[in-house]
Amino acid sequence: MCHSGSGCRICEGEMTGRYKGIEKWAAAVLFAAACGLIFTGCDGEDAEKEAQGPVAVENPKPALDIPVIIDIDEDGAGTGKEDKAITVEVSGEETEGEDTSGNTPKEAGDDNETGGKEAGDEGSNEAEDEGSDETGDEDPSEAEEAEDGTGKDGDAEGEEATDDTAPEEAAGPEVVPGSVESVSLNPGWTYADYSAINSGAAKLYRAAGGRKGVVIAVNAGHGTRGGGSVKTYCHPDMSPKVTGGSTGAGAVKATAISGGMSFADGTSEASVTLREAQLLRDRLLAKGYDVLMLRDDADVQLDNIARTIIANNTAACHIALHWDGDGLSYDKGCFYISTPDGIKGMEPVASHWQQHEALGKALISGLASKGCKIYGGGSMNIDLTQTSYSTIPSVDIELGNAASAHDDATLAQLADGLAAGIAGMF
């Protein structure tokens, strides 16, 4: 009831519409506070003004011209009686109303004729998210990403900063075209401690022109004095060999590096592999490849493991040159040593054996393209120390056997074939 004793619908609590579910007196107080109005009672004059329809309340403060509509159900119970509306044009500065009811009023309802559904049915969380975007509020993590240039969208300045720092991060020793560098085994490299003979050094030849920026490791098989008297683990996990070879299946250790066989005319395999390696080196340098010669002299004090680890950390691939000591009296032809199934689950073989196979097939393809004889399907499964420790594409290529020709013309043909195979892969 009004303080004056006369009836007033606002005072009688018949408010509905936008403020449904809120205590009626509390809603009226909230509305009055938001509009800068104070209801001090409804006397006869107020009732007369109400009967005249919408009442415009003037305020000397700057006009905001915000129309506010309060729907008041005639009987306060939503029984279908005709609704009447009081429209108040509010002038003045925005004033935050204080909710004294303990409830949170909705900012927009389903039938709001002035605001539509800005908050609507999409939920308060989505509305708040959209609101923060519209007001320009930044998420702290996004702001930090934008500043350091690592954000997903990133700005131009962030991208430029990244590009400026990349060359410094990638910078290494200056490469001098046409130079020759010495590369020794670094004891900190993975598997380096498995090597038994490692006092020697490989030589890295840099292409003088047309540089490709790719290093090919060429390993002239054998050629390490005393290598036959030292043994090393066949596998980095110290498991036994799964196939025979120069060392039988089941052995845990094998010769660190053997002396190789002799051709029918008495020429040592080690001398022929060195000559072939030098021919291949010259062809690769002419094509713009850098070449890591794991053995560039008659002797180098690097066992099979040391050569493999140096190649792992210096080159894009590792190609070991050999001729097969099978004892046959006829030219067998070329083939590569493929990975047996028994070690494909052992690391690092498990992660790289498919690369080894791809390199072997590429070399056989290149050799065939130059008219070189290919043995059978071009491969043979053997468990090798080299393959067991390799973390780059790596293969032992057998270029014939003791009965094969090894004159300069034959070696040149083989070098052309190997270079073609390498060019097909790198």
Q: Indicate whether 165 pLDDT > 80.
A: no
Number of residues that make up the chain: 426
Residue 120, pLDDT score: 36
- The closest of 317, 322, 310, 321 to 290, measured between CA atoms, is 317
This model's pTM is above 0.75: no
Question: Mean pLDDT, the chain, as a whole number?
Answer: 75
Q: Indicate whether 192 pLDDT > 80.
A: yes
* Residue 292 contacts residue 215 (beta carbons within 8 Å): yes
For the ranges 125-139, 182-196, 284-298, the lowest mean pLDDT is seen at 125-139
| DSSP code, position 209 | S
pLDDT band at 173 (very low <50, low <70, confident <90, very high): confident
Q: How far is CA 413 from the centre of its chain?
A: 42
Q: How far apart are CA 77 and CA 79, in angstroms?
A: 6
Q: Indicate whether 421 pLDDT > 60.
A: yes
- Contacts of residue 80, defined as CB under 8 A and 6 or more positions apart, other chains included, come to none
In the predicted model, what is the mean pLDDT of residues 102-118? 39
> CB under 8 Å, gap of 24 or more: what pairs does 245-254 form?
245/382, 245/383, 245/384, 249/383, 254/385
pLDDT band at 51 (very low <50, low <70, confident <90, very high): very low
Helices of type H across 58-139: 124-134
Q: How far apart are CA 383 and CA 333, in angstroms?
A: 20
Q: How far apart are CA 376 and CA 370, in angstroms?
A: 17
More confident residue, 241 or 131: 241
* Residue 314 contacts residue 217 (beta carbons within 8 Å): yes
**pLDDT tens digit sequence for 207-220:** 999 999 999 999 99
Six token digits for residue 140: 């702290």
More confident residue, 282 or 119: 282
Domain 180-425: CATH superfamily is Zn-dependent exopeptidases (3.40.630.40)
Q: Identify the H or E element spanning 356.
A: helix 349-369
DSSP percent split of the chain into helix, strand, coil, nearest 5: 35, 15, 50
Q: Indicate whether 149 pLDDT > 70.
A: no
pLDDT band at 33 (very low <50, low <70, confident <90, very high): low
Q: How far is CA 170 from the centre of its chain?
A: 17
**pLDDT tens digit sequence for 57-99:** 444 444 444 444 444 343 444 444 344 443 434 344 444 444 4
Residue 141, pLDDT score: 39
Strands (E), 235-274: 253-255
Percent of the chain with pLDDT over 90: 58
CA atoms within 13 A on the CB side of 200: 25
DSSP-derived 3-state class of residue 252: coil
DSSP-derived 3-state class of residue 293: strand
Q: How far apart are CA 302 and CA 300, in angstroms?
A: 6
pLDDT band at 163 (very low <50, low <70, confident <90, very high): very low
Q: How far apart are CA 185 and CA 183, in angstroms?
A: 7
Residue 28, pLDDT score: 55
Residue labelled with tokens 């792992």 = 312
Residue 245, pLDDT score: 85
What are the residue boundaries of the structural domains of the chain, listed by start? 17-104, 180-425
At 61, give phi and psi (nearest 5°). Answer: -70, 160
At 44, give phi and psi (nearest 5°). Answer: -65, -35
Residue 27, pLDDT score: 54
In the predicted model, what is the mean pLDDT of residues 285-302? 98
More confident residue, 373 or 98: 373
Cβ neighbourhood burial of 313 (10 Å; 0-12, 13-18, 19+): middle
Q: How far apart are CA 154 and CA 162, in angstroms?
A: 11
- The closest of 326, 321, 260 to 293, measured between CA atoms, is 321
